[in-house]
């Protein structure tokens, strides 16, 4: 992938030389060219802005500067090439190499005959993980870093002859200029290019990749400052671990970004995880009636009640578990499985 950035502060883009992006440059996966907008400015002061038409505060960046700049970049101007900030180790096989994982690029990429021009602006369309996934397939992305009150809108109207133009926002707030947003978008996009991360699953399980936030993470030691990591993570049961992670993802999304759930594709199990509560049901059953816990657990699951413990002492049957059913229905569900019972109740715990 080729990235070109047009800015009045070229040094602002130096962070792209570091860490995994620097390594991607070193490996030839990524190339970055930075262009000083003032190279196209004229006059003693190399001015790039002027007062807005119609009056008002601030200054607007000139079209007669931006137009030629974008023309030249589209035509192949190299700019100042960024190299990696430091040499990286390339003698150690990475996860995907060791396990022979084939590249799994995302779908996306538009008319590759035209570069993609991204214009960071608070007035743009919100940047999302889906955008990052799609744009990770691009061959050439150009960033136009605005300052002051922005860039004359005619620049982008004209640029459509040479680019696919997208005005994009990284959040509902205003920055001094577009350079910080470029760093955000560039990192979000390039980390998804096959080969940039050593483990493909690292980004496939990210927050937003499936429309949800990622759940909490833990590492060794199992107990730190008296706080224990969840026992399921050291159980060795991979199915339980995955179920727990999915549940935590759903719960965090509901707590922090509930609007995401409206767009996410949720299974019946997902809905259960979100809606179920911990409950205890007790029934008075005939003393001679014996309950087969395994069969009862299976029947209750079909009814929407997932039992974790079933115990009987004399004529009292106790069922502990989770359900999204109202308490009265939960009691009836247990009673229907038992067949006959004298009385019962379900309480939330």
- CA-to-CA distance for 203 and 209, rounded, in angstroms? 8
242 carries an active-site annotation:
no
pLDDT tens column, 67-108: 999 999 999 999 999 999 887 666 565 555 555 666 666 676
Long-range contacts of 325-328 (CB under 8 A, 24+ apart): 327/279
Polymer length of the chain: 349
Annotated active-site residue in 39, 149, 214, 320: 149
Say whether pLDDT at 148 is over 60: yes
User: What band does 289 get if pLDDT is binned at 50, 70 and 90?
Assistant: low
DSSP character at residue 116: E
User: What band does 171 get if pLDDT is binned at 50, 70 and 90?
Assistant: very high
Reference 92, options 19, 198, 192, 18; nearest CA is 198
DSSP character at residue 164: E
pTM over 0.75: yes
Q: Any binding-site annotation on 109? A: no
**pLDDT for 232:** 95
Annotated active-site residue in 206, 210, 214, 320: 206
Reference 21, options 140, 189, 205, 203; nearest CA is 189
At residue 105's C-alpha, the angle toward residues 99 and 108, to 5°, is: 170
122 carries an active-site annotation:
yes
147 carries an active-site annotation:
no
Q: Any binding-site annotation on 172? A: yes
Annotated active-site residue in 52, 63, 122, 194: 122
Count the Cβ atoms, other than its own, within 10 Å of residue 125.
11
Which tokens go with 295? 């069969």
Strands 316-323 and 277-284 come out as antiparallel
All domains in the chain, ordered by first residue: 2-204 (3.40.1280.10), 211-275 (1.10.1270.20), 276-348 (3.30.70.260)
- CA-to-CA distance for 191 and 197, rounded, in angstroms? 6
**pLDDT for 207:** 53
36 carries an active-site annotation:
no
More confident residue, 93 or 330: 330
- CA-to-CA distance for 8 and 229, rounded, in angstroms? 48
Asked which of 8-12, 199-203, 313-317 is least confident by mean pLDDT, the reply is 199-203
Say whether pLDDT at 59 is over 90: yes
Tell me the pLDDT of the chain averaged across its residues: 90
254-277 exposure pattern, b = at least 16 Cβ within 10 A, e = fewer: eeeeeeebeeeebeeebebbeebe
Residue 285 · residue 338 · CB < 8 Å: yes
User: What band does 140 get if pLDDT is binned at 50, 70 and 90?
Assistant: very high
């Amino acid at each position: 992938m080729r990235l070109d950035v047009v800015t009045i502060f070229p040094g602002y883009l130096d962070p792209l030389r570091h860490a995994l992006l620097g390594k991607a440059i070193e490996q030839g996966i990524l190339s970055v060219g930075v262009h000083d907008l003032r190279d196209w400015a004229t006059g003693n002061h190399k001015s790039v802005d002027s007062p807005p038409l119609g009056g008002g505060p601030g200054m607007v960046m000139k079209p007669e500067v931006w137009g030629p700049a974008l023309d030249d970049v589209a035509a192949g101007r190299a700019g100042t090439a960024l190299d990696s900030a430091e040499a990286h180790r390339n003698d150690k096989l990475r996860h995907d190499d060791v396990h022979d994982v084939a590249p799994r690029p995302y779908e996306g990429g538009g008319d590759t005959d035209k570069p993609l021009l991204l214009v960071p602006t608070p007035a743009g369309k919100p940047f999302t993980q889906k955008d990052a996934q799609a744009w990770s397939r691009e061959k050439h992305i150009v960033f136009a870093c605005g300052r002051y009150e922005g860039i004359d809108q005619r620049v982008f109207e004209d640029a459509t002859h040479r680019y696919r133009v997208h005005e994009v926002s990284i959040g509902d707030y205003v920055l001094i200029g577009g350079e910080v947003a470029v760093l955000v978008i560039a990192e979000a996009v390039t980390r998804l290019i096959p080969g940039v991360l050593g483990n493909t699953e690292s980004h496939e399980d990210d927050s937003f990749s499936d429309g949800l936030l990622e759940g909490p993470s833990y590492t060794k030691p199992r107990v730190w400052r008296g706080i224990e990591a969840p026992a399921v993570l050291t159980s060795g049961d991979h199915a339980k671990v995955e179920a727990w992670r999915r549940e935590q993802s759903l719960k965090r999304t509901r707590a922090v970004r509930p609007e995401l759930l409206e767009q996410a594709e949720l299974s019946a199990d997902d809905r259960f995880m979100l809606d179920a509560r911990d409950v205890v049901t007790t029934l008075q059953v005939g003393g001679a009636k014996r309950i087969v816990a395994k069969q009862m657990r299976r029947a209750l699951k079909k009814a929407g009640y997932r039992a974790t413990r079933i115990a009987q002492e004399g004529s009292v049957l106790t069922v502990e578990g989770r359900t999204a059913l109202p308490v009265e229905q939960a009691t009836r569900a247990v009673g229907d499985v038992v067949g006959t019972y004298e009385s019962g109740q379900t309480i939330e715990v």
